[in-house]
Structure 1
């Protein structure tokens, strides 16, 4: 019967080439006529702390056709069904804010005419806030000039190396003199004992 007919739906995911993203969906997915079906699509940002605004578009290419049809557009909070074949049958199941990362759409009452390829496309705009110049009222100021910091660090490193080498030389000289003094004291005691022994005999 038509309600038990198995349909083949192929899902594609795409993200804007200028933004890094992760898009993972299953292709060649089975759906049953007369039932509902979830079209999954994910596009993740690399840096969660950067605010963004994202819109999602779904396109559909029926079997035996070469062109995609624009069937759905989501721009929070508005979800628009753009093709009459899917009128009142598509429902947004993705992220419910402006920074969309899950672009899933649910199809109600799947029919044989829904067989084909579905393409999901993310359009993401990142809002990068420039660093404000430092003033007397700044809570946190931009870091110092990196080149100057690098030069100062290198100079301090060489000074520290020279100081440690000089300290090592001083320690070696001190230890050598102490050992030499003890050796001289032992030799002097031996000579003194030898002289006392010769006087006795």
Structure 2
């Protein structure tokens, strides 16, 4: 679960620690699946087109359970306080924003101890008031997250492929090692047989030489 959240968290760090002149904010979609019993990050980001314009933002989160039509209000954020308004999510929601400000760009939530009853649609709403020289201007941004709770963590395709490749590599190395051992055994056996043949030939030649010397030493009268 932590590995799934790392790309999102790293991107958030990039958003808020790059120089302002680079305009680092970018809207990243939230993850949509989590295993039961885990902690999950419901991601919600809304960037401003003009960073120099002062603004005030409030955020509301809503939840519609699977198979139902009505949304229920679950959290309201008005700097600096996030208030949980749903008994179902009481003590399980945690406000997450890297930078706490009255004009928040990140309105993400940690959902602790995920249950199957948390499956459904989540709605994140930004109500932003821009403080312009000619007067205030308000507008609303809404984002939706279709969330599914899994009986257990779903393995990433890359992880499955990586594991298969690992087993293929292990089997391949073992087969290669067997082939090398057979080759080395045959080569050593051949060299030993050749050595024994040379030794036998030397012994035969020595015997023949000794026999010849003995024959030459016999005087026939």
TM-score by length of 2: 0.47
- Give the CA deviation at 1:129: 2.9
Q: Deviations over 1:61-119 (max 9, x none)?
A: 00110111100111110110000000011111024110110110111111110000101
Aligned counterpart, 2:214: none
* Corresponding residue pairs, total: 110
- Give the CA deviation at 1:22: 7.0
Q: 2-side partners of 1:48 and 1:83: how far apart?
A: 33
| 1:102 and 2:102 matched | no
TM-score by length of 1: 0.51
**Structure with the larger helix share:** 2
| Contact 1:22-1:45 within 8 A present in 2 as well | no
RMSD: 2.0
Runs of at least 4 residues of structure 1 off by over 3 A?
21-24
Q: 2-side partners of 1:66 and 1:25: how far apart?
A: 23
| Matches for 1:40-55 after TM superposition, within 5 Å | 40-55=43-58
Higher relative contact order (CA 8 A, sep 6+): 1
Q: 2-side partners of 1:23 and 1:53: how far apart?
A: 19
The equivalent position to 1:68 in structure 2, one of 67, 71, 74, is 71
| Matches for 1:111-126 after TM superposition, within 5 Å | 111-126=115-130
Q: Secondary structure at the match of 2:117?
A: helix
Q: Deviations over 1:135-175 (max 9, x none)?
A: xxxxxxxxxxxxxxxxxxxxxxxxxxxxxxxxxxxxxxxxx
Unmatched segments (≥5 aa) in structure 1 = 1-20, 131-201
Unmatched segments (≥5 aa) in structure 2 = 1-24, 135-221
